C-alpha cells in the first residue's frame, strides 16, 4: 500500500488536533492556581461522564417512543454495583461486570 504526502499530512494533522486539547490544559494548569471550589467541581466530572455512559447503555431509544430498559444490562449492573459499593476497587468492579454479563448472556440469552 502506498501512502501519499497528502495522506501523511492528514494523519499527522489529525494526530495533532487530537493531542493538543489533551496537553494544553496540563500546560495551563501548571502556570495558574486553580481555586479550591473549581478543583472540587472537577472531581465530579469523571463520575458524571461514567454515569451518563452507564444510563445511556441501560436505555434503548427509538424514535417516536419512550426509552425502554435494556434488561440484559440492568441485570448485569446489579451485582456490579454491589461489588462497587462493597470493594470500591476498579479491578473488582470490572471483573464483576464481565462475569455477570457473560453469565447472563450464557444462561438467559
Please state the pTM of the whole predicted model: 0.60
What is the pLDDT at residue 76? 94
pLDDT of residue 8: 93
Kindly give the confidence (pLDDT) of every residue in the chain, 109 residues in length, as a single tens digit, with 9 standing for 90 and above. 688 999 999 999 999 999 999 998 888 888 888 889 988 998 888 889 988 988 898 999 899 999 999 999 999 999 999 999 999 898 999 999 999 999 999 998 7
pLDDT at 108: 84
Q: What distance in Å separates the CA atoms of residue 102 and residue 17, rounded to the nearest whole number?
A: 38
CB–CB of 58/90 below 8 Å?
no
Give the chain's length: 109
Q: Which residues contact 69 (CB under 8 A, 6 or more apart)?
A: 58, 59, 60
DSSP-derived 3-state class of residue 45? helix
Amino acid at each position: 500500500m502506498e501512502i501519499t504526502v497528502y495522506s501523511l499530512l492528514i494523519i499527522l494533522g489529525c494526530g495533532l488536533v487530537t493531542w493538543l486539547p489533551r496537553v494544553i490544559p496540563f500546560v495551563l494548569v501548571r502556570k495558574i492556581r486553580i481555586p479550591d471550589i473549581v478543583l472540587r467541581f472537577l472531581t465530579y466530572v469523571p463520575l458524571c461522564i461514567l454515569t451518563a455512559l452507564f444510563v445511556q447503555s441501560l436505555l434503548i431509544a427509538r424514535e417516536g417512543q419512550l426509552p425502554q430498559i435494556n434488561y440484559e444490562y440492568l441485570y448485569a449492573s446489579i451485582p456490579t454495583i454491589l461489588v462497587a459499593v462493597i470493594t470500591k476497587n476498579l479491578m473488582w468492579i470490572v471483573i464483576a461486570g464481565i462475569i455477570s454479563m457473560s453469565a447472563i448472556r450464557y444462561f438467559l440469552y
